[in-house]
């Protein structure tokens, strides 16, 4: 089943504030000086993840702990959820402390067949508009993967195979960095973004139900560090950013992050200790 349209109807309108306290917490997580962030300053691009994390009632959480996505999904019989990637186009900035409106649309639902069985790709589109502005400050499409229960899929392998080789012809990196996302980092990020998805903190659930060997790292975590590296290299904010999760990243795994120039922007990559790409991204 696929829902398409030149301009999908708005499914939900939500209101939030770009809270200074949450922005400072994210700055601290990224090892920035939180005291250097003040109200009225432009929110670093990509940090909008601190907003619009729905305060879902405990009784309304999915069995895997995932909270509301901003739209009601059709019943597909696929109980396991993970994020596949995101595409963000920035048209302006969000001042820290400002009220913001979000318009959410269900852009597309597609059923697929892969080596590990059937799954679905769901694209959800968000428009974030600062109060008083006529146009969105950013338009974002977040892609999710819905999969069968662990007993009906290739256990612990992350569902459809998205792994790819290092991009052919990728230029030598302008910057590299190594990080090890551990339990503390996962806990802090989930707390800042109010993310109750159990694969990020409930080790017995991750192992026994989802059949993973360890907790899974939120794909947005390496993406945030890559954006920090991009700012250091270029000295400015991106006009757009897209990322794709290629393989599960497990807690405690050393990641090598790299940022390399392209003719029309920057290529970014997160690789595991064996040199296998886990996340690829591009900014312009």
| 156 shares a domain with 227 | no
Alpha carbons within 13 angstroms on the beta-carbon side of residue 268 total: 28
| 113 shares a domain with 25 | yes
252: CATH: 3.10.129.10
Q: How far apart are the first and last CA of the chain?
A: 33
| 152 shares a domain with 172 | no
| 103 shares a domain with 10 | yes
| 150 shares a domain with 167 | no
Domain span holding position 260: 162-181+217-284
Please, is 248 exposed, middle or buried when counting C-beta atoms within 10 Å of its C-beta (0-12, 13-18, 19+)? buried
Domains of the chain: total: 2
| 267 shares a domain with 150 | no
| 225 shares a domain with 107 | no
Residue 203 maps to a domain: no
Distances (CA, A) of 194 to 108, 109, 175, 190: 25, 25, 31, 5
The per-residue pLDDT for 23 is 98
pLDDT in tens, the chain (284 residues): 333 344 567 789 999 999 999 999 999 999 999 999 999 999 999 999 999 997 888 998 888 888 877 777 778 888 888 899 999 999 999 999 999 999 999 988 988 887 667 899 999 999 999 999 999 999 999 999 988 876 644 445 544 445 555 555 578 999 999 999 999 999 999 999 999 999 999 999 999 999 999 999 999 999 999 999 999 999 999 999 999 999 999 999 999 999 999 999 999 999 999 999 999 999 99
Residue 190 maps to a domain: no
Q: Provide the token pair at 209.
A: 């139900």
The per-residue pLDDT for 116 is 66
| 52 shares a domain with 127 | yes
């Amino acid at each position: 089943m696929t829902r398409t349209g030149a301009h999908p109807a708005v499914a939900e309108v939500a209101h939030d504030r770009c809270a200074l306290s949450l922005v400072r917490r994210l700055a601290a997580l990224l090892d920035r000086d939180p005291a250097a962030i003040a109200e009225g300053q432009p929110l670093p691009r990509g940090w909008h993840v601190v907003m619009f994390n729905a305060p879902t009632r405990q009784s309304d959480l999915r069995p895997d702990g995932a909270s509301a996505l901003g739209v009601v999904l059709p019943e597909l019989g696929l109980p396991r959820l993970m994020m596949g990637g995101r595409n963000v186009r920035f048209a302006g900035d969000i001042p820290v402390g400002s009220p913001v409106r979000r318009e959410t649309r269900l852009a597309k639902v597609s059923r697929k067949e892969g080596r590990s069985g059937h799954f679905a790709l769901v694209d959800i589109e968000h428009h974030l508009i600062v109060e008083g502005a006529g146009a969105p400050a950013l338009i974002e499409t977040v892609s999710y993967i819905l999969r069968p229960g662990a007993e009906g899929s290739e256990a612990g392998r992350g569902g459809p195979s998205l792994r790819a080789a290092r991009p052919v012809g990728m230029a030598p990196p302008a910057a590299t960095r190594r990080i090890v996302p551990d339990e503390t980092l996962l806990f802090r990020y989930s707390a800042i973004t109010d993310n109750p998805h159990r694969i990020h903190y409930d080790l017995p659930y991750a192992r026994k139900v989802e059949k993973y060997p360890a907790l899974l790292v939120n794909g947005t975590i390496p993406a945030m560090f890559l954006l920090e590296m991009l700012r250091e290299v270029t000295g400015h904010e991106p006009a757009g950013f897209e990322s794709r999760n290629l393989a599960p990243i497990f807690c405690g795994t050393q990641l090598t992050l790299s940022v390399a120039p392209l003719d029309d922007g920057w290529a970014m990559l997160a690789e595991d200790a064996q040199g296998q790409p886990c996340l690829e991204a591009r900014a312009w």
